[in-house]
Amino acid sequence: MTSPHRIAFIGLGAMGYPMAGHLARAGHDVTVFNRNSGRAEAWQSDYGGYVASTPAAAAKDQDAVMICVGNDDDVREVTLGEHGALSSMREGALLVDHTTTSEALATSLAASADQSGVAFLDAPVSGGQIGAENGALTVMIGANEQAFTEAQPLIECYAKSVRRMGPVGAGQLTKMVNQICIAGLLQGLAEGIHFAERAGLDVPAAMEVIAQGAAQSWQMNNRAETMIRGEFDFGFAVDWMRKDLGIAIQAAQSVGAEVPVTQLVDTFYADVQGLGGHRWDTSSLIQRLRAGEANR
């Protein structure tokens, strides 16, 4: 285990709550901030540590500040706002953003951090709430090599895979690749299950047998059974996926990449939102197909 550090963790949602908990369990001195103070107090009851009243108060004199909030605007608020973390961070500290954001935000935030003598890492994560709870996230990082070397032992408290992808922004671009791939996989899985249902197959048996072949994927192994049962409460919500896909589609246009399947699946997620599935998890694409069948 790395020697204890003073760490602030900002954002205690479904991901941040267990991530901060892993840091505390590893022996680090953790101070948390969350906009819903009751959530922060619950975390303190579970793990000890300290609760701060503002991001600036949480970040003061810390070795590292970790952020895991909702979107670009949330990151700006907790870093650059009136009581933002950068206003109090000491020179030489690390600022690690685990939020999935635009590459442009990562680049601009790195510039602001540099003016304060703070090293910035864009470090989006994959693995969902289960991965966060089990300390088994995959973290893709954009940063200089020195900052990555310093941050890696801390991030490994809640990750099974930590990799530097290049300079600042590369982490967010890699996360976009991740979401593009997941969107296509989940739509294919939804269509396969729907076809099996309509064809009168033993659907669980069909999924079990093809999972032993080339169709196998994490999504099939972990979501096929719950999709068949119509259970969609497994963490990463459709609203957040649409946010991520919007970022990826915009970036694709910027770099001249064609992502027609991603664009199409994004519209399918909009249909799921229309069914009331804003907070359903991303495997709920199957419900759109079932709803279409019911309307025929």
- Catalytic positions, please? 175
Distant-in-sequence, close-in-space partners of 281: CB < 8 Å, separation ≥ 6: 232, 233, 234, 235, 236, 237, 238
Q: Which token pair is 217?
A: 């994927």
C-alpha span between 14 and 289 (Å, rounded): 28
Dihedral sign, CA of 223, 229, 234, 236? positive
Q: Is residue 108 classed as helix, strand or coil in its secondary structure?
A: helix
DSSP 126-168: ESHHHHHHTT-EEEEEES-HHHHHHHHHHHTTSEEEEEEEEST
For 4, half-sphere exposure in the C-beta direction (CA atoms, 13 angstrom radius) is: 9
